[in-house]
Amino acid sequence: MAPSANIISRRHAPRKMGGRRKNHRNHKKTFTSPKSPQSILAQARRNSFTSRRGHGGLFGAGSSNKINHLERKAGERTWKYSKFGLIPRSTEPFEKNCFDREPYPPGYVFVPKGDVYVTRNCRTTTKKSERIVYTVYDKTGKRTLGIRIPSDVYAAVLESAAATAETRANAIKLRDEKDLAHSRQILCTKFPLMPVESLEAILNHAFLKGSGRVGRTATITDERKADLAVEAHIRHTHTPYESMLHAGTGREEARKAVWSLIQAIKTAWEGGSAQPIDVLALRNRMVESN
């Protein structure tokens, strides 16, 4: 009787509060690893495709401006991670940029930099025929090597260059002579007392075509070019500047030391108050002190 009584008592006993219940708070959360830019881009494309299909815009009939904007942004991100991301995209019509290691388009040839007439006419003729001009970059993407253009265009431009070579050479010669005469006139006007040998030396040095010196720059006025060219000539020829450098004097220190002598000689060549005897005396004192 005792066991059955215990069973009955357990059956009718009140249930304890707080029994086993599912506690959702104790469940562990699942964490996903960070997504790469490529996976994010792929998901954005899938979402864009699904959205267009749901709105009936799969074939462009009902696509919205917002979706097109997202596609453009996705294309820009794709460009960032592509192998061509080292060189800029060309914004000119009928022009593209490429690396030198990329294969040539059919019928195209390479034209290296150097001949301005050939390069300019190859580019212009190719674009007029509504074909692409490829600007070729080196492997670093920082320096251009030349262009790729159709072979028939290159042959025609080379033929034209050969036919006009003599005419163009004469035109260049006349232009150079005109530029030299203009520079001579500026120097003679600004420095009427300059010795002839100094005038010729300055013209053949500072104003030499292709030298890249001060007389050939286009960023300053003609008068300023004349001043700088004359000062440089006086510094290296009529002062102890070179001997000071050879003796170990610093460049800036040597320039400051001869500056007053340079200005005195330049003023004398301009016809100013400084007299040649004063200039020579100043120069002799500097030479003796060094």
Q: Are 194 and 217 in contact (CB under 8 A)?
A: no
Q: What are phi and psi of 197, to 5 degrees?
A: -65, -35
Q: What are phi and psi of 147, to 5 degrees?
A: -135, 160
Residue 214 banded pLDDT, cuts 50, 70, 90: confident
Q: What is the mean pLDDT of the chain?
A: 77
pLDDT of residue 67: 41
Pairing of the two strands 133-137 and 108-112: unpaired
Would you say residue 251 has pLDDT above 70?
yes
84 DSSP assignment: T
Six-digit token string for 124: 């212009």
Six-digit token string for 22: 């599912």
pLDDT of residue 176: 87
* Beta carbons within 10 angstroms of residue 133's beta carbon: 24
pLDDT in tens, 87-126: 888 889 999 999 999 999 999 999 999 999 999 999 999 9
Nearest-CA neighbor of 207 among 174, 239, 235, 177? Answer: 177
Helix (H, G, I), strand (E, B) or coil at 90: coil
Integer Cα distance of 125 and 120 in angstroms: 9
Residue 11 banded pLDDT, cuts 50, 70, 90: low
Least confident window among 24-28, 61-65, 267-271: 61-65
Q: Report the Cα 259 to chain-centroid distance in Å.
A: 37
Six-digit token string for 277: 């005897």
Six-digit token string for 113: 């930099």
Six-digit token string for 207: 């104003």
Q: Among 47-56, 68-77, 168-177, 267-276, which range has the highest average pLDDT?
A: 168-177
- All domains of the chain, ordered by start, with CATH? 95-163 (3.30.70), 166-289 (no CATH)
pLDDT in tens, 140-193: 888 999 999 999 999 999 999 999 999 999 998 898 889 889 999 999 999 999
Integer Cα distance of 151 and 107 in angstroms: 6
Integer Cα distance of 8 and 261 in angstroms: 127
What's the mean pLDDT in 188-216? 86
DSSP lists the bridge partners of residue 98 as 136
Would you say residue 206 has pLDDT above 80?
yes
pLDDT of residue 254: 94
Q: Among 6-10, 71-75, 202-206, which range has the highest average pLDDT?
A: 202-206
Integer Cα distance of 276 and 280 in angstroms: 6
pLDDT of residue 134: 96
pLDDT of residue 51: 58
Integer Cα distance of 257 and 155 in angstroms: 59
- Give just the sign of the alpha carbon dihedral 84, 90, 96, 98: negative
All residues at 6 or more sequence positions from 90 whose CB lies less than 8 Å from its CB, including other chains: 96, 97, 135
Q: How many angstroms separate the Cα of 56 from the Cα of each of 48, 52, 59, 149, 246?
A: 12, 6, 8, 43, 83
